[in-house]
Structure 1
Amino acid sequence: MAGFADFLGPILEMMTWVGFVPGVPLLVWAWVIARRRCQWVTADGEQFAAGGFLGLRWVDLEHEERKVLLDIAATEGGTATGSVVVHYDACHPSRCSLEPPRYDHTVLILGWILTGVGILSTLGGLVLVAL
């Protein structure tokens, strides 16, 4: 058993450092990103054609009318004008979309995985010392 502990001990200690050192800062970074992110709001809007492009028109939370031209030519799909649901950034209303926003949680997931590896390696090292 002593040979096994001599072999596994340094590996667990290294994995503890490999997990905690990048994992905890990644969790802090993900928390900062989540706190700085503005809320996206939905509004009833209207889709219109303007100069060969599609545009969106809606009224935001401050009751101001907003108009934005999309990067889609009117000849491509979605040429129908009419009412649509507009999703827009409350801090920057010019950032809008017809689809709900999808957030990227890569930093949070990677932080949880690395921190979990660090916690499991620490617990494994403690169990190894107790044996």
Structure 2
Amino acid sequence: MTTAGGAFGPILEVMTWVGFVLGLPLLAWGWIAIRRRCRWTQTTAQVFSAGGFKGYRWTDHQNADHRSLLPDAESPGLADGTDVVLFYDACHPSRWGLAPPKPDNPAWTLGWVLTWVGAISTALGFVLLFL
């Protein structure tokens, strides 16, 4: 075996173990977090004003009325009675936004990266075995 192959063998072995031992639990943890997360639902909200505030009034999927107030500085150009698209968490309607939430799950992403590092290291280890 060449010295380059002798040096890469232990490195690939360590990367295989690191990739799989850390990657698979993170992947499982991320998957569980994705399954437990509540979905966000889209609805139409109506703009209203109250004192020095603008607000949104909407009805959730259980026909419960909700109102949220914002300072006028955070809601420029909105006229009373205007309809806007609002997104809210179905489990916690107090969590809402005017844009859909970005799916972020660092455990899932890091789990995929480490698992792929482990898989590629395993494949390269077998290739190196036959060189």
TM-score band, normalised by shorter chain = 0.7 to 0.9
Classify 1:89/1:27 alpha carbon distance in 2 versus 1 (closer, same or farther; 3 Å). same
Residue aligning to 1:35: 35
Asked if residue 106 in structure 1 is aligned to residue 106 in structure 2, the reply is yes
Offset of 1:22 from its aligned partner? Answer: 1.6
Residue aligning to 2:8: 8
Offset of 1:27 from its aligned partner? Answer: 0.7
Which amino acid in structure 2 is aligned with residue 116 of structure 1?
Answer: W
Structure 2: distance between partners of 1:78 and 1:91? 30
> For this pair of structures, how many residues does the alignment match?
129
Structure 2: distance between partners of 1:78 and 1:13? 60
Offset of 1:95 from its aligned partner? Answer: 1.0
Which deviations, in whole Å up to 9, do the C-alpha atoms of 1:8-35 show, x marking residues without a partner? 1111111112211221111112101101
1:62-73 equivalent positions in 2, closer than 5 A: 62-70=62-70, 73=71
Identity between Structure 1 and Structure 2 (%): 50
Partner secondary structure for residue 85 of structure 1: strand
Q: TM-score, normalised by structure 1?
A: 0.87
1:1-131 equivalent positions in 2, closer than 5 A: 1-70=1-70, 73-76=71-74, 77-81=76-80, 82-131=82-131
Offset of 1:65 from its aligned partner? Answer: 1.5
Structure 2: distance between partners of 1:126 and 1:10? 12
Assess if the C-alpha contact under 8 Å between 1:52 and 1:75 holds in 2.
Answer: no
Classify 1:75/1:114 alpha carbon distance in 2 versus 1 (closer, same or farther; 3 Å). closer
Assess if the C-alpha contact under 8 Å between 1:59 and 1:65 holds in 2.
Answer: yes
Q: CA RMSD in A?
A: 1.7
Offset of 1:121 from its aligned partner? Answer: 0.7
Structure 2: distance between partners of 1:69 and 1:29? 36
Structure 2 gap segments, 5+ residues each: none
For structure 1, which segment, 59-68 or 35-44, has the greater mean C-alpha deviation from structure 2 after superposition?
59-68
Which amino acid in structure 2 is aligned with residue 85 of structure 1?
Answer: V
Structure 1 gap segments, 5+ residues each: none
